[in-house]
Amino acid sequence: MTFLDDLGKKLTDATHTAADMAKTSADNYRLNSWIREEEQKITTAYTSIGKKYLERYGADMDPDFAEYLQQISASRLKIEEYKGQLRKNKGVTICSGCGAEIPVSTKFCIRCGTPNPEAENCQKEAPKPQPNRCPRCGSPIAPGAGYCCNCGEKLSDAGV
């Protein structure tokens, strides 16, 4: 019986050890998570300080900060370049009138009707009006569009 008693004690001890390790591990994970949250708060505060300083002093800032301003400017340029590449990959452009993202092939913005210089010229002939099509050029109309994306025709206030 001593073998079985000894085995039972070892199993009980192992179970308690595993439970203690799991609790410690969970506590450590929780504590590390809280540390990351507090570090993020500090980073956010530093960022806010920098933004306020830049807004307040702009070009008159201390020369010691010029390097950081150059880094920010360079990163902003890279971000715009990357966004341009993303738009190209998606086949969209930005409307110069309202800033909406529109397909490159549309001749007019469906939100504001501004011509899209990247698209081809409009069709000259106006086909017969059909449901869910532009009354001027006959192109399909996106639900809720205020303007035809092909010819720029203003649609009803609610869109088609």
E strands of 3-158, at which residues? 92-94, 101-103
pLDDT tens, residue order, the chain (160 aa) = 677 777 777 778 888 888 888 889 899 999 999 999 999 999 999 999 988 988 888 778 888 888 888 898 899 999 999 999 999 898 899 999 999 999 988 888 988 999 998 886 444 444 555 567 888 887 888 778 888 888 888 887 544 4
Helix (H) or strand (E) holding 4: helix 2-57
Counting every residue written for the chain, the total comes to 160
Rounded to an integer, what distance in angstroms lies between the CA atom of residue 38 and that of residue 34? Answer: 6
Domain boundaries, the chain: 2-90, 91-160
E strands of the chain, at which residues? 92-94, 101-103
Kindly state the tokens that stand for 34. 């809280």
Rounded to an integer, what distance in angstroms lies between the CA atom of residue 154 and that of residue 129? Answer: 14
* pLDDT one-digit tens code per residue, 30-61: 999 999 999 999 999 999 998 898 888 877 88
Rounded to an integer, what distance in angstroms lies between the CA atom of residue 135 and that of residue 122? Answer: 14
Dihedral in degrees, nearest 10, Cα atoms 88, 94, 95, 96: -110
